[in-house]
Amino acid sequence: MYRITQEIHFCYGHRLLNYSGKCRHLHGHNARVQIILEGADLDERGMLIDFSDIKAKLRTWIDDELDHRMILCKDDPVLEALKDTEEPFFVIDDNPTAENIARLIYNKAVDFEFPVVEVCLWETPNSQATYRG
Ligand SMILES: Nc1nc2c(c(=O)[nH]1)N=C([C@H](O)[C@H](O)COP(=O)(O)OP(=O)(O)OP(=O)(O)O)CN2
């Protein structure tokens, strides 16, 4: 079995609903995400998946859709105010926790047909969430 990991860095803002700590307020993170792929076979080049393909698809999607955006729950009232501005945002169905953002990126890797097994998202240097399919 082979395992490869691609690490991608991006910045995002968010806030948590139904949460009493400081993260209920709008704030930002410099996130580090690790996308872990596994498979039993290599292609004729000796690669599970070309790192460049992961960057071309998944890193481009993260850069275009998540990087330097507010990631907000669809139920967040601040969305109405943001819609009146030129500020970019990305709406998800659930609270934008590290767990849910890890799952979002995992599902996108599946959409791109990468053999993803795990996505680890470091929200801060000390706090990390992992989603496995
Ligand atoms: N299980 C989770 N717990 C928390 C999440 C989360 O996504 N999943 N998120 C937050 C906040 O978004 C917060 O930004 C991160 O919390 P925390 O690690 O406490 O942030 P600090 O910057 O204070 O980190 P330090 O390690 O203390 O410097 C809260 N909890």
Give burial (CB, 10 Å; 0-12/13-18/19+) of 25: exposed
Complex prediction ipTM: 0.90
Q: What local confidence, expressed as pLDDT, does residue 93 receive?
A: 97
Pick the catalytic residue: 11, 38, 68, 87?
Answer: 68
| DSSP helix/strand/coil, 69 | strand
Neighbours of 104 (CB within 10 A): 22
Instruction: Please state the pTM of the whole predicted model.
Output: 0.95
The CA 128 to ligand 1 mean position distance, Å, reads: 9
The CA 87 to ligand 1 mean position distance, Å, reads: 24
The per-residue pLDDT for range 73-127, each reduced to its tens digit, is 999 999 999 988 989 999 999 999 999 999 999 999 999 999 999 999 999 999 9
CA distance 95 to 114: 26
Domains of the chain plus CATH, in order, are 2-132 (3.30.479.10)
Nearest C-alpha neighbor of 37 from the set 26, 48, 52: 48
The per-residue pLDDT for range 19-61, each reduced to its tens digit, is 999 999 999 999 999 999 999 999 999 999 999 999 999 999 9
